[in-house]
A and B are shown apart, each in its own frame.
Chain A
Amino acid sequence: MSDQFKQILSLEQKDGGLKGDLSSTNIADLLQFLSSSSKKGVIKVVRHPDKEQGQVYFDGGELVSATSGKLTGLTGFADLLGWQEGSFRFFPGVDAQNRTVGLSVQHAILEAMVSMDHGAGNVREQTAAVMEERGKDMEQAVRGATEVMNDLLEVPGIDAVVIVGRDGFVIDSTGSSLRVNIDVLGASLAHAVNGIEEMGSELSIDHFQDLFIEYGRSVIMCKPVGDAIAAVVTPDASKLGIIRHKTKKLFLELGQSF
Chain B
Amino acid sequence: MTVMRDTVVKSLAKVTVQGDENGLIPEYEVLVNLLPVALLNSFAERIMAAAPPERKAEVEAGLVRAAYECGYHTGCGIITSESFNEAVMPMVTEGAKDILRGAYAAFTAWGWAKAGIVQLKEGERMVIRAFDYYEADSGGEGLRAYMFRGLSQAFFDLAYADPYPDGMDTYVCQQTKGLEVGDPYGEFIVTKK
Interface residues in B139-193 by Cβ distance below 8 A to A read 176, 187, 189
Selected interface stretch from A27-35, A79-87, A190-198, A241-249? A190-198
With beta carbons under 8 angstroms apart, the residue of A141, A194, A227 that contacts B1 is: A194
Distance in angstroms between the alpha carbons of A228 and B1 in the assembled complex = 14
1/0 per residue B1-32: CB within 8 Å of A? 11111100000000000000000000000000
Contact B6 A168, beta carbon cutoff 8 Å: yes
Q: Known: A167-B4, A198-B1. Is A138-B117 also a contact (CB below 8 A)? A: no
Contact B4 A171, beta carbon cutoff 8 Å: no
With beta carbons under 8 angstroms apart, the residue of B4, B119, B125 that contacts A190 is: B4
A110 CB-CB contact with B under 8 Å: no
Q: Tell me which residues across on chain B come within 8 A of A258, comparing CB atoms.
A: 118-119
B66 CB-CB contact with A under 8 Å: no
Contact A165 B118, beta carbon cutoff 8 Å: yes
A139 CB-CB contact with B under 8 Å: yes
Contact B127 A167, beta carbon cutoff 8 Å: no
Contact B4 A142, beta carbon cutoff 8 Å: no
Interface residues on chain A, number (Cβ under 8 Å): 23
Interface residues on chain B, number (Cβ under 8 Å): 21
Q: Known: A167-B105, A169-B104. Is A194-B118 also a contact (CB below 8 A)? A: no
CB distance from A65 to the nearest CB of B (A): 31
Besides A165-B101, A167-B116, 16 other A-B contacts (C-beta < 8 A):
A139-B127, A142-B119, A142-B127, A166-B101, A167-B4, A167-B105, A168-B4, A169-B116, A169-B117, A172-B129, A187-B4, A190-B2, A190-B6, A194-B1, A227-B119, A257-B119
B interface residues with partner A (beta carbon < 8 Å): 1-6, 101, 104-105, 116-121, 125, 127, 129, 176, 187, 189
List, sorted by A's number, 22 A–B pairs whose CB atoms are closer than 8 Å. Answer: A138-B125, A139-B127, A139-B176, A139-B187, A141-B119, A142-B119, A165-B118, A167-B116, A168-B4, A169-B5, A169-B117, A171-B129, A187-B5, A187-B6, A190-B2, A191-B4, A194-B2, A226-B119, A227-B119, A227-B120, A228-B118, A257-B119
10 smallest A-B Cβ distances: which pairs? Answer: A169-B116, A187-B6, A167-B101, A167-B5, A168-B5, A166-B2, A171-B118, A167-B3, A138-B127, A169-B5
